[in-house]
């Protein structure tokens, strides 16, 4: 393995000033050769400086890390989350007809049973058979944070054209502004509150859930009857007063950031209906089948991961931008931030040793074309290249506005082309000369108009954003993160790094209330004092 890393780095060094456009000039078939499909998704990674030699070394890296064996271990229910002693089986949630054994027991029957109960409940809510005290449910409020919020929130926004159920709202932040703004205008008598928390202990979620219950208690006689819970801790949901018929449980082998496929997806199921939710699962399952069966060199999640490794670990680009040219994928970058950064933002390998290389990159992004008028300046002309991952659907959902979609698509393709090509000093000088500039002023103005180009990007082209294709995309990214984690030797399925801040928050709260709370640093003590004084 170490040898392959070294060879990859040498290969990159030997490329010197090689430009992506040189690779296209040298190989007329490059656009096709460096493009990979899974069903009808197309992933074009030709606008990178990855040449045939780099590709082969990257594939060797994946082979050397035993990606195929680890992949099988995950799908077959081995306890690959070694620091928590857990299997990793979110794939089982979208494999309803299958069977997977953990500790000698098939876990699928229980998954199917919960899925059927969710669908039954969703049908009752959507048809009005399940009612609030004031009538059929008009609004659903999902209270959860992290994986218990980002997945369903992202998917509900993405699938707006399929949304024919009650209005759906999401509350995550412990900042009272979040729940206050959300509940304002809602009728407690026709609102269903879903408390989504794997552990049912997360302070933000439990605080918001209690506030929502108090809000409802001001109007309805039995608030708990309008609550549902999604959790692995069914004993705690009972203690909160939620009837078992509206509690949807899942096992510890579903990680929070991988949980949208099961009960945590209930708000999505209520919004789009059980049939479309199943299409979302089918999309995920289709990507699972591709990931499990396609050879590494034709495997979309593997190649997406290898392109990521090339740009971050080999080229040293510190961040990665996800740029969906689809306004409804507004929350996809935030979703991927948790998926990628909570999974692979680690500093020790599975065996506890220090990582020999940098771990996961910073992931960020915004839908195009909005980003173009905000941060693309830096992407085009800043000093540090930002590998960009464009996502584009061939068709929108607004046939009357097809000209908007063409413009959107033209911008997406134009951006990746501009990033690659750039504009040379000679071209910039010609532009300035055409404007009548001369001498030093021509030179000075031209330099500002130079685009270095050779900035890498990939494009994921999908037919249309539907429940099925969204399922494919989410599963694609999940498996990409998995492959990157395997190659880095990381456990992508724990998140110990979130614990310390949580623990300290419990100790800082008394300090803010003026209690004698020793053990804090001088800066924190002073800030707490100023906070108390300002608060009055």
Q: What angle do CA 47, 49, 53 make, to 5 degrees?
A: 125
Judged by beta carbon, residue 35 or residue 199, the one nearer ligand F6P is 199
DSSP designation for 498: G
Indicate the SS3 state at residue 49: coil
CB of 482 to ligand F6P, least distance (A): 16
Does the annotation mark 448 as catalytic? no
Does the annotation mark 66 as catalytic? no
> Is residue 372 involved in binding ligand F6P (CB under 6 A)?
no
Q: Is 46 exposed, middle or buried (0-12, 13-18, 19+ CB in 10 A)?
A: buried
Binding-site residue total for ligand F6P (CB under 6 A)? 14
Q: Tally the residues of the chain.
A: 536
Judged by beta carbon, residue 211 or residue 381, the one nearer ligand F6P is 211
Please give the Cα distance from 461 to 451 (Å, whole number).
Answer: 26
Near ligand F6P in 237-266, by CB under 6 A: 256-257
Judged by beta carbon, residue 48 or residue 202, the one nearer ligand F6P is 202
CB of 239 to ligand F6P, least distance (A): 15
CB of 202 to ligand F6P, least distance (A): 3
Please give the Cα distance from 75 to 116 (Å, whole number).
Answer: 23
Which range of residues in 177-185, 194-202, 429-437, 527-535 is near ligand F6P by CB under 6 A? Answer: 194-202
Site string for ligand F6P, 91-130 (x = CB under 6 A): ----------------------------------------
Which range of residues in 186-194, 199-207, 277-285, 360-368 is near ligand F6P by CB under 6 A? Answer: 199-207
Does the annotation mark 502 as catalytic? yes
Q: E strands of 239-326, at which residues?
A: 247-249, 319-325
Per the DSSP assignment, residues forming a β-bridge with 106 are 101
Q: Are strands 101-102 and 105-106 parallel, antiparallel or unpaired?
A: antiparallel
| Phi and psi, residue 450, nearest 5° | -80, 135
Near ligand F6P in 407-466, by CB under 6 A: none
Nearest to 148 by CA among 239, 263, 225: 263
Judged by beta carbon, residue 148 or residue 226, the one nearer ligand F6P is 148
> Is residue 151 involved in binding ligand F6P (CB under 6 A)?
no
Which position among 146, 367, 422, 489 is part of the footprint of ligand F6P (CB under 6 A)? 146
Which range of residues in 198-206, 236-244, 298-306, 477-485 is near ligand F6P by CB under 6 A? Answer: 198-206
CB of 79 to ligand F6P, least distance (A): 18
Active-site annotation holder among 72, 398, 441, 502: 502
Please give the Cα distance from 339 to 481 (Å, whole number).
Answer: 8
Residue 53: which H helix or E strand, with range? helix 52-64
Please give the Cα distance from 190 to 67 (Å, whole number).
Answer: 49
Active-site annotation holder among 251, 342, 389, 478: 342
CB of 236 to ligand F6P, least distance (A): 10
Nearest to 454 by CA among 376, 390, 385: 385
> Is residue 273 involved in binding ligand F6P (CB under 6 A)?
no
Which position among 77, 132, 147, 360 is part of the footprint of ligand F6P (CB under 6 A)? 147
CB of 103 to ligand F6P, least distance (A): 23
Near ligand F6P in 330-349, by CB under 6 A: 342
CB of 500 to ligand F6P, least distance (A): 11
What are the DSSP calls for 20-48, one per residue?
HHHHHHH-TTHHHHTEEEETTEEEE--SS
Task: Tally Cβ neighbours within 10 Å of residue 31.
Answer: 12
Near ligand F6P in 483-502, by CB under 6 A: 495, 498
Which position among 4, 58, 145, 157 is part of the footprint of ligand F6P (CB under 6 A)? 145
Can you give the C-alpha Rg of the chain in angstroms? 25
Please give the Cα distance from 205 to 202 (Å, whole number).
Answer: 6
> Is residue 35 involved in binding ligand F6P (CB under 6 A)?
no
Please give the Cα distance from 330 to 366 (Å, whole number).
Answer: 7
Which range of residues in 83-91, 142-150, 182-190, 485-493 is near ligand F6P by CB under 6 A? Answer: 142-150
Q: Is 64 exposed, middle or buried (0-12, 13-18, 19+ CB in 10 A)?
A: middle
* Contact assessment for residue 96 and residue 109, using Cβ atoms and an 8 Å cutoff: no
Please give the Cα distance from 354 to 312 (Å, whole number).
Answer: 18
> Is residue 385 involved in binding ligand F6P (CB under 6 A)?
no
CB of 404 to ligand F6P, least distance (A): 35
Judged by beta carbon, residue 341 or residue 461, the one nearer ligand F6P is 341
Please give the Cα distance from 180 to 208 (Å, whole number).
Answer: 10
Judged by beta carbon, residue 199 or residue 207, the one nearer ligand F6P is 199
* Contact assessment for residue 474 and residue 264, using Cβ atoms and an 8 Å cutoff: no
Judged by beta carbon, residue 335 or residue 390, the one nearer ligand F6P is 335
Which range of residues in 141-149, 375-383, 392-400, 486-494 is near ligand F6P by CB under 6 A? Answer: 141-149
Nearest to 264 by CA among 319, 329, 200: 200
Residues that bind ligand F6P (CB under 6 A): 145-148, 197-199, 202, 205, 256-257, 342, 495, 498
Active site residues: 342, 373, 502
């Amino acid at each position: 393995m170490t040898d392959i890393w070294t060879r990859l780095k040498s290969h990159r060094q030997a490329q010197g000033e090689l430009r992506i456009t040189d690779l296209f000039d040298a190989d007329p078939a490059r656009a096709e050769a460096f493009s990979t499909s899974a069903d009808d998704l197309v992933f074009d990674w030709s606008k990178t400086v990855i040449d045939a030699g780099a590709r082969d070394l990257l594939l060797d890296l994946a082979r050397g890390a035993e990606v195929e064996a680890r992949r099988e271990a995950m799908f077959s229910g081995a306890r690959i989350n070694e620091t928590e002693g857990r299997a990793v089986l979110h794939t089982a949630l979208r494999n309803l007809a299958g069977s997977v054994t953990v500790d000698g027991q098939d876990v699928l029957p229980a998954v199917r049973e919960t899925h059927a109960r969710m669908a039954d409940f969703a049908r009752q809510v959507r048809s009005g058979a399940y009612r609030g005290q004031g009538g059929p449910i008009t609004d659903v409020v999902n209270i959860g944070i992290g994986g218990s919020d980002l997945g369903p929130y992202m998917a509900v926004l993405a699938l707006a054209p399929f949304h024919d159920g009650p209005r759906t709202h999401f509350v995550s932040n412990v900042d009272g502004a979040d729940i206050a703004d959300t509940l304002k205008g809602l009728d407690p008598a026709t609102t269903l509150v879903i408390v989504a928390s794997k552990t049912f202990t997360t302070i933000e979620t439990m605080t918001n859930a209690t506030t929502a219950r108090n809000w409802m208690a001001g109007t309805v006689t039995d608030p708990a009857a309008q609550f549902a819970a999604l959790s692995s801790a069914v004993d705690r949901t009972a203690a909160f007063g939620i009837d078992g018929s509206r509690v949807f449980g899942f096992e510890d082998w579903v990680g929070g950031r991988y949980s949208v496929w099961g009960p945590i997806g209930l708000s999505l199921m209520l919004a789009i209906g059980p049939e479309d939710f199943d299409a979302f699962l089918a999309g995920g399952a289709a990507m699972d089948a591709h990931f499990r069966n396609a050879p590494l060199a034709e495997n979309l999640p593997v190649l997406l991961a290898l392109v990521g490794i090339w740009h971050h670990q080999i080229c040293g680009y510190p961040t990665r931008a996800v740029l969906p040219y689809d306004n409804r994928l507004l929350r996809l970058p935030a979703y991927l931030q948790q998926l990628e950064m909570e999974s692979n933002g680690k500093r020790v390998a599975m065996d506890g040793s220090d990582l020999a290389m940098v771990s996961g990159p910073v992931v960020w992004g915004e839908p195009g074309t909005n980003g173009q008028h905000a941060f693309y300046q830096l992407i085009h002309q800043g000093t540090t290249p930002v590998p960009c991952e464009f996502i584009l659907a061939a068709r929108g959902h607004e046939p009357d506005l097809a000209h908007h979609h063409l413009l959107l698509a033209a911008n997406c393709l134009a951006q990746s082309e501009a990033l690659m090509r750039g504009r040379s000093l000679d071209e910039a000088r010609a532009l300035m000369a055409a404007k009548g500039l001369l001498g030093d002023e021509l030179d000075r103005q031209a330099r500002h108009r130079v685009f270095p180009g050779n900035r890498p990007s990939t494009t994921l082209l999908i037919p249309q954003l539907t429940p099925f294709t969204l399922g494919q995309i989410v599963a694609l990214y999940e498996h990409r993160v998995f492959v990157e984690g395997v190659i880095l030797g990381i456990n992508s399925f724990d998140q110990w790094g979130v614990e310390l801040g949580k623990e300290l928050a419990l100790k800082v709260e008394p300090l803010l209330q003026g209690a004698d709370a020793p053990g804090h640093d001088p800066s924190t003590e002073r800030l707490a004092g100023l906070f108390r004084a300002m608060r009055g």
